[in-house]
Structure 1
């Protein structure tokens, strides 16, 4: 069995990931680094640490020599403003990646976005692309990037853009797996990504995510 730490455990994908890890026979220990406690993290395998993401390096001892880092951190420009979005989706994600690398974690699994591109004119896609590039330069033994389309989930806050996109894209899922996936499917694919012996950098698009989710077993 493997050991891991999770950042972003209270978000849409992260909370589903925690639920799956609770029941997974593949992981014996999971450290959650979060600003608040995670209700779904029940069981002896979980270690919860309340952290300040501006001082994440202070949690080195908590993650030393674990096998896997799962990162599902993220916010929106609408919720946090442009500067706040970049701080979370770039700075905090990079802090988590550096923390993992400096403490011997071998695998890093990242939730990014379809069409991520560090040369994009759009802040969201540019930021996601920059993070993918910079984590790649840290040279983890395995780096797997999840690039989902629209993430199907129930959120506490209403996001008009996601709602409008879901109205358009949901019917398309009947004929194609390119456009959307559920938070649960993404979390299932993240766990599956850690179970292969392949090394290096891998990008899983929405089609691959759904394909892997169908194979998932606890």
Structure 2
């Protein structure tokens, strides 16, 4: 039985991950570090901690010697501005990774983005690339990076560009798994990633995510 902690549990992928972990026979203990309570976290295996991401190091005792860290933290530039986006998608993600490493967590599973590139002139892709590079330098026993395409999900706020892209992607999905995956599929792949004997840094692209989701069992 595996133990884990989750950051980003209230987002699109994170909330689906929590639902799956609630039913999973693979996990005996899951610590949620979030700014607010997570309704889907039902059952004795969950421990919910309300945290200040500016002081995440104060939660060391809560994550000490767990097996896995799941990170699905993220925002958008449109929602938080450029500075706010970088704070969440870089600073808070790195705080979670360092918290995990310093407290003996062996595996780190990160939701990033296809096209992540630390040399990109675009803030989003550059930030994702920087984070991947910096976490890799922490040398977890296993570091699995999810590179989904378009994430299919129902959001509280309407995103016109995302909705339009989903419509355009729908016929393409008949021919290829390269372009998009659902939040549930990504969460299923994240759990599967923790159950392999593979070590080191791995990147799972959208095709791999969809393939692993098909294999998922609770």
Deviation, structure 1 residue 163: 1.2
In structure 2, what is the equivalent of residue 45 of structure 1? Answer: 45
State how far apart, in whole Å, the 2-side matches of 1:161 and 1:121 are. 21
In structure 2, what is the equivalent of residue 138 of structure 1? Answer: 138
After superposition, the C-alpha distances for 1:67-125 in whole angstroms (9 at most, x for unaligned) are 00000000000000000000000000000000000000000000000110001111000
State how far apart, in whole Å, the 1-side matches of 2:103 and 2:42 are. 26
State how far apart, in whole Å, the 2-side matches of 1:184 and 1:103 are. 29
Is 1:125 aligned to residue 125 of structure 2? yes
After superposition, the C-alpha distances for 1:162-216 in whole angstroms (9 at most, x for unaligned) are 1121121121111100000000000000000000011100000000000000000
State how far apart, in whole Å, the 2-side matches of 1:9 and 1:170 are. 27
After superposition, the C-alpha distances for 1:127-174 in whole angstroms (9 at most, x for unaligned) are 000000000000000000000000000000011221121121121111
State how far apart, in whole Å, the 2-side matches of 1:167 and 1:126 are. 27
In structure 2, what is the equivalent of residue 23 of structure 1? Answer: 23
In structure 2, what is the equivalent of residue 105 of structure 1? Answer: 105
State how far apart, in whole Å, the 2-side matches of 1:173 and 1:88 are. 31
1:69-218 alignment to 2 at 5 Å? 69-218=69-218
**Alignment coverage as a number of residue pairs:** 218
Give 4+ residue runs of structure 1 displaced > 3 Å after superposition.
Answer: none
State how far apart, in whole Å, the 2-side matches of 1:142 and 1:105 are. 10
> Secondary structure of the equivalent of 2:49?
strand
Listed as ranges, the gaps of 5+ residues in structure 2 are none
State how far apart, in whole Å, the 1-side matches of 2:55 and 2:217 are. 36
State how far apart, in whole Å, the 1-side matches of 2:211 and 2:179 are. 13
State how far apart, in whole Å, the 2-side matches of 1:13 and 1:20 are. 11
RMSD: 0.4
State how far apart, in whole Å, the 2-side matches of 1:193 and 1:161 are. 30
In structure 1, what is the equivalent of residue 5 of structure 2? Answer: 5
In structure 2, what is the equivalent of residue 65 of structure 1? Answer: 65
Listed as ranges, the gaps of 5+ residues in structure 1 are none
State how far apart, in whole Å, the 2-side matches of 1:119 and 1:161 are. 25
State how far apart, in whole Å, the 2-side matches of 1:89 and 1:43 are. 29
> Secondary structure of the equivalent of 1:174?
coil
Report the TM-score when normalising by structure 2: 0.99
